[in-house]
Amino acid sequence: MKNPVTAYIGLGSNLANPAEQIKAARAAIADIAGVQELAFSSVYRSPPMGPQDQPDYVNAVMAIATELPPIDLLRCLQQIENEQGRVRKAERWGARTLDLDVLIYGGQEINLPDLIVPHTGLAERAFVLYPLFEIAPQLIVPGKGAIAALLADCPRNGLERLN
């Protein structure tokens, strides 16, 4: 890779064997041309953020080196979601086979109609911060500050490490 950027991807699932969905997504992300896996967090279980009449979520965070522009990376992630049976509904925070989010892309702050980086809500979500801290404890989140400081202000809210 010529000039790779370190990016962090959030992985989440609560349908169709979530742990297997995460495992398959990890392999698919690592197979994207121009992407190399750097680190992968433990897998965590957490109660759903939105409607409570759905199964718990399984989440993880993956660090990658990539030479893809951020929007191209997003498109590749959306294709993986579709291949793994993701159905996009109007309902926000509903159950899903797979949710892949670009959490951080280098030191950039991006505000496009399809992509906001750092990911909106990252600083308040235990299921993102705890796995992210696990693989990047020295990380400075662009526009938000040190991951350790963000984590100190974020209760676990039922988050449980699975492996």
- Write down the catalytic residue from 53, 101, 114, 125: 101
pTM of this structure: 0.93
Look up 156 and say whether it is catalytic: no
CATH code assigned at 146:
3.30.70.560
Look up 72 and say whether it is catalytic: no
Look up 31 and say whether it is catalytic: no
| pLDDT tens for the chain, residues 1 to 163 | 788 999 999 999 988 899 999 999 999 999 999 999 999 999 999 988 777 778 889 999 999 999 999 999 999 999 999 888 766 565 555 566 788 999 999 999 999 999 999 988 899 999 999 999 999 999 999 999 999 999 999 999 899 999 6
Calpha distance 72→83 (Å, rounded) = 17
Q: Which domain holds residue 121?
A: 5-161
- Write down the catalytic residue from 45, 56, 92, 99: 99
Dihedral (Cα; 126, 31, 65, 152), 10-degree rounding: 10
Q: How many domains does the chain have?
A: 1
Give yes or no for a contact between 35 and 99, defined as CB atoms under 8 angstroms apart. Answer: no
Look up 86 and say whether it is catalytic: yes
